[in-house]
Chain A
């Protein structure tokens, strides 16, 4: 579910080719997202889930972003 949100933003708002948007794809190395594109992903996650996801300086896969977001959501549910 989270991955679909991110993929939708990457493809439909940022113009990436859908084939390269996979859970294993690294944000910097594979997708070459710049800081403004990261902001768009963060905004979409905030809109959809109400969370503040901040990209770290280290490269990260889309799958790992999803895991972090799901963890944040579960913490919100439990709090």
Chain B
């Protein structure tokens, strides 16, 4: 049995652009979507910069009556799902709804509606809390609204695993197809944490760079790193049984292989991160020397960077050619949508034969021997490894081979 599924559609709602063309053009051009937050006045916050999406109107993708009942993170997911299905040239009316699933990652739930609900409770009183509070904030809300929108009735799941939320969704989505639960899955994730309360909650965990003005503060593996920069958005990939995609003549971007998940006993040990990468390679029948590019977690925190750099240098020490790409420096960390976005970047890079730049990383930390380029690089980038790591050590590694 093949251990891979086909990726046939990409839907992107991202600070760099809505839709894959605008996103890709801006990414390759080295544009930085991290900006001073304008959605609210951030002056009282220690973090005032983020990857914020401008110009998104949920009514472009949803009936207005439905949009008012949902939080921003669900709007993004429904929009990305539509873009992905359109990209895959799929009409779900033609599919058995019991064989289609929605598998999303989300770390933080709906912050807009939470802030609104708290205002209503403490300013107006308990009777005035909006009736959608319970359903709209919940991390499974995007999965629910996408399945309702498209009449999807197959197995659906949502995953919460810190920075590895989206990678977990993708890992189990591949398994669900390979084990016969679904034939087609909308997989990826969504996140929208940019509210005062959302940002301060993340900040208090100690992972965020405390920038009020510096837009180039997200610097993975750089000596001057000071933490993660939040972003928002959604990426949805269409995953299909490989045979189905081939028989319908779909445009197959690449094959996503059954990856590997491991968990560390602590947040600073890299052995199980290494193990996840080695097992993922084995599942794809690739060796370390076959890999063209690695898309790591690239959290930009000292602890995470150290674990990843040391593990990658150990596992891939015989590979003299591979690149490291950290596209999220251009739009912020998307948590639940992070790995699906990395995979979208990887597929577009392979297709265009251009690796986009990793902006901001100028001075590699001492002891890091990583090939990170600040300018676009031409070449073949068809064999890709994606690794995601939650803060305390849940690791997910997955291989993609582009067509």
Contact = CB atoms under 8 A, between A and B. Distances in A.
Contact of A36 (B63, B64, B132): B132
Given A43-B127, A46-B127, A15 B132 contact: no
B116 to A, nearest CB: 12
Interface residues of B, number: 13
B123 to A, nearest CB: 12
A40 B64 contact: no
A15 B64 contact: yes
Contacts of B124: 47
B65 interface: yes
Contacts of A43: 127-128, 130-131
B67 A36 contact: no
A39 B67 CA distance: 17
Interface in A3-18: 13-16
Interface string B268-300: 000000000000000000000000000000000
B127 A15 contact: no
Interface residue range, chain A: 10 to 19
Interface in B125-172: 127-128, 130-132
Interface of B: 63-69, 124, 127-128, 130-132
23 contacts: A13-B68, A14-B65, A14-B68, A15-B63, A15-B64, A15-B65, A15-B66, A15-B67, A15-B68, A16-B65, A35-B131, A36-B69, A36-B131, A36-B132, A40-B130, A40-B131, A43-B127, A43-B128, A43-B130, A43-B131, A46-B127, A47-B124, A47-B128
